[in-house]
Structure 1
């Protein structure tokens, strides 16, 4: 590999390429270096490379990820990392932008459309395989840019002038075990939480109006009907808190970053939601024996 590339060193003539993005890719140092090696597959000795980390108005650059890590001091994670490689003969250009935010955006361009497509699909499959389980359940598919601008290789991932569309990823195992059942279970829990809330509100209103709106014809409400208020209330708390805990955990996993040091993430909102779900479940069970 040669010295750091000149960002203005563009290829003349026609090239073929694709741009895609995958949400919620959280990598270790070793995985980031493996991604770099995958991106460089097929590049030759005259290739130019640069890896850049930006925070605020400051940037740190190196030729490889391995050279960049020692320059960053005691940082625990990187959420704005750009890796880029280019060679002229034959022309090949790969750019990978991890963050900021939830997206890892990558662009592959080359004179040979077969090479560009193959490398694009390899990167897509590799990144999707590194999504956490909850992120994969929530996002389903990677996205591809529709008619990206001609200067896509030099365009930043934060630009908003591109239309994105979901796409299927080629893989011998397009879905992970239990992915579809988990998605259906989350939707079912959410629907039950809504039903339990509606049931509780109906009985609260019925207490003041004397009518049971949960029955056909709204007959007069009875003490037995009112005794179900606690069951519906605790059920709504348990189910709603469970859904919120899953959504909160998914949102945390959705943030793309490279973790320089092993660490355990602790989120107060998720812990409180899990505790509320447990309390609600216990309350629901107790209501059954009243």
Structure 2
């Protein structure tokens, strides 16, 4: 793991594995670079897999919660690219990471070689936002990683089925850490206050379709869990209508978000990388 310093002095964690064309992996709202372990396993032999923790998450520093906003996170991505001397990258964005990719389409379109959206699009379903607010910033209900992993099959049902036990154990390890005999979240709990206004039912969602359209000419991929409560089937269909050339996989027995070890998901990522060589 390495660190880059943002303009406001925060240290941002990142990891680089493999060689070849750069694939930048951006995680979801409360998640971190460990979500992309399956991507490292699948692609480190053909790509430079770069995983980043957004500010306030994972191994990155916590800062002013007012900076836990997508435009700042996009600026942090550009800081990392400049630090690494990378002119262009393909982005694999999970949930929040995909929204950051959309903002980068407006801020720095020439830096984007291609984008794979993992269960996210220009419209975020309100029911999914409401579900996130049920747990965001709350202490874990579990005492051990083993207890958390054992509860996940019930907690994530029915959107997730036929998930190997090893996946649930890995998920628990990725989102929690053991500390003083209890579990804690691997993110700043103040993240809740930072995003609550945008998640409120009365909040006016910005129109992100122009940002999606700004990716014209860039190879795109879309991975959707069939049971997703964040990316609706209608939004996914509109994305495909606007970009009929977009690689696509609809994953049965998966919700928000797919693990990225699923064979169809791997094929989508591989297709976009092939197109951006």
TM-score tier by shorter-chain length is under 0.3
Rg comparison, structure with higher value: 1
TM-score (norm 1): 0.22
TM-score (norm 2): 0.23
